[in-house]
Amino acid sequence: MKIDLTGRTALVTGSSSGIGYAAARALALADAAVVVNGRDERRVADAVDGLREETGSTKVTGIAADVATAEGAADLVGQLPDVDVLVNNLGIFGAVPVFEVPDEEWVRYFEVNVLSGIRLARHYAPRMVGRGWGRVIFVSSESAIQIPTEMVHYGMTKTAQIAVSRGMAQEVAGTGVTVNTVLPGSTLTEGVREFIADRVGRDVPFEEAERRFMETERPTSLLKRLIRPEEIGNFIAYVASDLSSATTGAALRADGGIANTLIP
């Protein structure tokens, strides 16, 4: 199989690092014109430079905008009216006991993790329908179907993404546009590295910290290791391509078998 996105424009939110960066890289290697997004102009510019160097693509650009706000989303779509592939990757997470999460944190998690993607899909998906082709991808998590006790507020937003994605897929049925969620498992990003250090201890060498974390907090993993960002990025590139044309309205697991269930 050859993933070829020549002539397609792809926007990846939250792509200055982590899974978003890996997805942008995979899409650029498939010859898409990739737009990197993040809040910080310097970090976005650095990501663009890095991706151009790593992929050899001259079609990587960036837009700094906070799409977790209505104003930021409007700014982005004003600069980028149309895309063929929308990857809603922006997200935040953190461990807080559920009865200690205040109202404002529930709202903030929903705005960043869910509403950011809704705003962009609401703008771009109807335009994709008008052209008869498009891909909307929400980057959810295995936490959507196996709620982590230490991050219930996060898991709630990931479940909401699946519901929104399915509903949008139903709305665009038969148009050539697909809408799906990708469910990564615990992935080795800088944010997860910090999360594990907080959970296991900062004095523990990371290789050992990873082993302990997987053994004690993610024991159902069949990989028995953290997923690498490029593994998720490659999967997103497939979902973004013509090769995935029969897949829509789906919650697609790339979780290393962490979710102990047959069907998400």
Q: Are 14 and 62 in contact (CB under 8 A)?
A: no
* Tokens of residue 257, six digits: 């078998």
Q: Which residue has the tokens 């665009």?
A: 172
* Tokens of residue 12, six digits: 């990846």
Indicate the residue type of 264: P
The Cα–Cα gap between 180 and 17 comes to 22
Q: Are 188 and 173 in contact (CB under 8 A)?
A: no
The Cα–Cα gap between 11 and 25 comes to 12
The Cα–Cα gap between 147 and 205 comes to 28
The Cα–Cα gap between 154 and 134 comes to 28
Helix axes 116-131, 70-79, angle to 10 degrees: 30
From 21, 109, 154, 238, active-site residue = 154
**154 classed as catalytic:** yes
The Cα–Cα gap between 188 and 19 comes to 9
Hey, CA dihedral for 109, 111, 113, 115, is it positive or negative?
A: positive
The residues that are catalytic are 154
